[in-house]
Amino acid sequence: MSVDPLGQFLADNRYPGRGVLWARTRAGELVGGYFLTGRSPASQARRLHFEDERLIVSPTDETAHDPLRHYAAAIEDERWLVFGNGEQVSTVADRLAAGEAPAVALDRLEYEPDPPILTSRITVIADLADPGTACLGAARRSAGAREAGNLVTVTVRDLAPGDVVLMTTYRSDGGTVLPAEPYAEATTEAADAAGFLDEIWRALTPELRVAAAAFTPGRLTGAALRHRTD
């Protein structure tokens, strides 16, 4: 089975919403990635920055805190790197610190209360004690009438150079916006985190891209960042 290059995969999805990526570069380096896209002025008025060694999504203006748009996007301690698209990142990090296993820490999460889209919560847990192993989770609204969410977890091990596993919140042709598939696979040509960020940024729709980050596990605060104003 063949998979698309990451750049093509992202370019074909005009509005992916937010995305989390776990990859091994062509040079063999493990790297995580996170990006934001937005259509409304409020969604576009956001930035990534570090606060207390956490990667934070915050407003670029005087907008009041909105938990669906402003949150800790990545948190790292001695054992775990956790990143995702909402406040569940802090919840999962706290559960891991309390001794829960990754699959358990991802349990009991819910999709976002933002009708009519009801955005999925997407999260990655990378195990710093077992390099190369990561658990990806998506809390999704059922495609049927029931309101209870579905939780999909995927454990990824032993990525080969060039492998990418990712989750996005949406799949869109630019008009209709639908929930994305639970996860996807792609390939990268990047040699390091900076190159990986460039690959992501170039592929996102220019008028919709907001911010992106790429980081090496164990060195989160050294993340490469990109913003629409750069």
Q: What is the CATH number of the domain that holds 203?
A: 3.60.20.20
Q: Is 160 among the domain residues?
A: yes
Counting every residue written for the chain, the total comes to 230
What's the mean per-residue pLDDT of the chain?
Answer: 94
Report the half-sphere exposure of 33 (CA within 13 A, side-chain side). 33
pLDDT above 90 covers a percentage of the chain that reads 83
Query: What pLDDT, on a 0 to 100 scale, did the predictor assign at position 84?
Result: 98
Residue 134 lies in a domain: yes
Mean pLDDT score, 48-71: 90
Q: Convert the pLDDT of each residue in 218-227 to its tens digit.
A: 999 999 999 9
Nearest to 31 by CA among 191, 184, 186: 191
Total structural domains within the chain: 1
**Structural domain contains residue 226:** no
CB-based burial of residue 100 (10 Å sphere; 0-12 exposed, 13-18 middle, 19+ buried)? middle
Q: Which residue range is the domain that position 19 belongs to?
A: 6-220
Question: For residue 1, what pLDDT band results from cuts at 50, 70 and 90?
Answer: low
What pLDDT sits at residue 48? 97
Domain membership of residue 121 (yes or no) is yes
- Asked if residue 98 belongs to a domain, the reply is yes
Q: Is residue 227 part of a domain?
A: no
